[in-house]
Structure 1
Amino acid sequence: MSSGTDNDDGSHCSTPDSDGEVAEEIAIVAFERKMETAEEISDELADRYETIDILEYHGDVFEEFWGEYDCFVGLMASGIAMRKTAHLLDDKWDDPAICVVDEELTWAIPITGGHHGANQVAQDLATMGAVPAMTTASEAAGKQGVESRAKAMDAHVVNGDSTVKTNLAVLDDDLGPVARLEGPRAVLVGDDVTVLKRNTQNGIVVGTGSVSGADTEAFLAAWEEALEQTEYGFADVEFVATATRKAEEEGLLEAARELDLGVVTFDRETLLDHEGPTPSKSKELIGWPGVSEASAIAGGAKQELVLEKRSYENEVTVAIGR
Structure 2
Amino acid sequence: MTETTAQSNDSDCSTADSDGEVAREIAIVSFERKRETAEEIQDGLADDYDRIDILEYHGEVFEEHWGAYDCFVGLMASGIAMRKTAPLLDDKWADPAVVVVDEELTWAIPLTGGHHGANQVAHDLSTMGAVPAMTTASEAAGKQGVESRAKALGAHVVNGDSTVATNLAVLNDELGPVARLDGPRAVLVDDDVTVLKRNAEDGVVLGTGSVSGARAEQFLTAWRDALDAADRSPDDVEFVATATRKEGEEGMLEAARELGVGVAYLDKETLLEFEGPTPSRSKELIGWPGIAEASAIAAGREHELLVEKRRHDDAVTVAVGR
Same fold (TM over 0.5): yes
Displacement of 1:129 after TM fit? 3.4
**Structure 1 counterpart SS, 2:293:** helix
Other-structure match for 2:193: 193
- Aligned equivalents of 1:270, 1:210: Cα separation in 2: 19
Alpha carbons of 1:14 and 1:114: their partners in 2 closer, same or farther (altered >3 Å)? closer
Q: Which has the higher contact order (CA 8 A, sep 6+)?
A: 2
Give the whole-Å Cα distance in 1 for the aligned partners of 2:119 and 2:270. 29
Deviation at 1:212, TM superposition (A): 1.6
Query: Which structure 1 residue ranges, 5 or more long, are not aligned?
Result: 1-9
The alpha-carbon deviation at position 58 of structure 1 amounts to: 2.5
Greater share of strand = 2
Q: Distance in 2 between matches of 1:15 and 1:86?
A: 20
* Post-superposition offset of 1:14: 6.6
Determine the C-alpha separation between the residues in 1 that align with 2:245 and 2:211.
11
- 8 Å CA contact 2:15–2:23 kept in 1: the answer is no
Deviation for aligned residue 1:159: 0.4
Equivalent residue runs for 1:173-322 within 5 Å: 173-322=173-322
> Mean alpha-carbon deviation: is it higher for 124-133 or for 92-101?
124-133
User: What letter corresponds to residue 88 of structure 2 in structure 1?
Assistant: L
Partner in structure 1 of residue 4 of structure 2: none
AA partner of residue 286 (structure 2): I
Whether 1:169 aligns to 2:178 is no
Whether the 8 Å CA contact 1:15–1:199 is kept in 2: the answer is no
Looking at structure 2, the residues matched to 134 and 283 of structure 1 have their Cα atoms a distance apart, in angstroms, of 43
- Report the alpha carbon displacement of residue 13 of structure 1 after superposing the two structures with TM: 5.2
Q: CA contact under 8 A between 1:31 and 1:57: conserved in structure 2?
A: yes
Structure 1 residue matching 2:69: 3-state secondary structure: coil
| Partner in structure 2 of residue 64 of structure 1 | 64
User: 1:22·1:120 contact (CA, 8 Å) conserved in 2?
Assistant: no
Q: Could you list the per-position Cα deviations for residues 157-199 of structure 1 after superposition, in whole angstroms to 9, with x for gaps in the alignment?
A: 1100111111122222322222222222222111111111111
> Does structure 1 retain, via aligned residues, the 8 Å contact 2:206–2:239?
yes
CA contact (8 A) 2:242 2:266 kept: yes
Task: Say if 2:22 and 2:199, in contact at 8 Å, map to a contact too.
Answer: no
Report 1:26-175 matches (<5 A).
Answer: 26-175=26-175
Whichever residue aligns with residue 172 of structure 1, its letter is N
Q: Work out whether residues 20 and 117 of structure 1, in 8 Å CA contact, stay in contact via their aligned partners in 2.
A: no
Compute the displacement of 1:28 (Å). Answer: 0.6
Give how far 1:60 is off. 3.3
Q: Which AA in structure 1 matches 2:157? A: V
Cα distance change of structure 1 residues 158 and 274 upon mapping to structure 2, 3 Å threshold = same
**Following the alignment from structure 2 to structure 1, what is the Cα–Cα distance between the partners of residues 109 and 42?**
17
| C-alpha distance 65-313 of structure 1, shift in aligned 2 (>3 A) | same
Q: How far apart are residue 34 of structure 1 and its match?
A: 1.0
C-alpha contact 1:99 1:121 (8 A) present in aligned 2: yes
**Identity across matched positions, percent:** 77
Q: Give the conservation status (yes or no) of the 8 Å contact 2:105–2:129.
A: yes
- Of 236-245 and 101-110, deviating more is 101-110
| In structure 2, distance between residues paired with 1:22 and 1:229 | 27
